[in-house]
Every structure is written in structure tokens, then in C-alpha cells.
Amino acid sequence: MHEIGIAEAILDAVEKRAAGRPVQHARVRAGALLRISEPAINQAFAMVSAGSPAEGARLELIIIPVRHICRTCRHVTTSDDAFASCDGCGGIDIVTEGGDELILESIQTTEADHVPGHPRRDSGDPARPS
């Protein structure tokens, strides 16, 4: 299950961005060449995030297609399939670009009781709303 390694990389990025705040949701863009599905990556993420601020968070997965360039006719297309023949000429001499990206696009956090390194809201600081 190669999704475990990918889920660990996502968790690392999520934890850095969350800065200790509990995470509810994260949106991830993943290249088609990574061959991951939303159910599989959510299962892997649930396993690796247990006990972390991201425990219980759901991942939304957006697949980034691969760009195919035919060396024979120069036709360019995109696809979720890494192995394709040219739509223009039917040739198989195809160059692929991209499709291996893994990008943490956004996270949604909830209010934490206290974020390390930041004053508490109830600290009496008049500049901070209570």
C-alpha cells in the first residue's frame, strides 16, 4: 500500500501548516502518476494521523492529469492515464510531463484551546478579542 508513504508526507505538511491546531479537512492535489484514490488515501491518512492534531481529518483529493506530447505528430493532450496512445495519429511514441505532483492546497482547522507560541485568548491582553 504505497498510500502510507504519501499519507505520511501529507501529514507532515498538514502539521506544519496547522501549527498545533486541530485539523478537520485538507485538500490535496496529486498527480495521476501517483495512482492514488480518495478512499485509499483517506484510509492511509487515518492510520498515520492517529494521535496527531490531524486525527479524524478528511482529505479531499484532486487528481492532476498527465500531459502527453506525441513525438510523431506533436499532438498535446492531458489524461489521468499514464499510458496512452496519441489521439491525433494513434502513435505510441509519447512523452509525458507532470503527473507526479503532491501539493497541500489548503487545510481547515478548528479553534484550539491554546496554540503553542501564541498568547491565550483569555490572557487578558486587551489587543486580543476574548
Tell me the binding residues for Zn(2+): 70, 73, 86, 89
Cα angle 106, 108, 109 (rounded to 5 degrees) comes to 135
DSSP letters along 116-129, please?
TTS--TTS--TTS-
Which residues does the annotation place in the binding site for Ni(2+)?
A: 2
Which residues does the annotation place in the binding site?
A: 2, 70, 73, 86, 89
Report the sign of the C-alpha dihedral through residues 93, 98, 102, 107, in that order. negative
- Cβ burial, residue 55 (10 Å; 0-12/13-18/19+): middle
C-alpha 72 chain-centroid distance: 34
Using an 8 Å Cβ cutoff, are 57 and 49 in contact?
Answer: yes
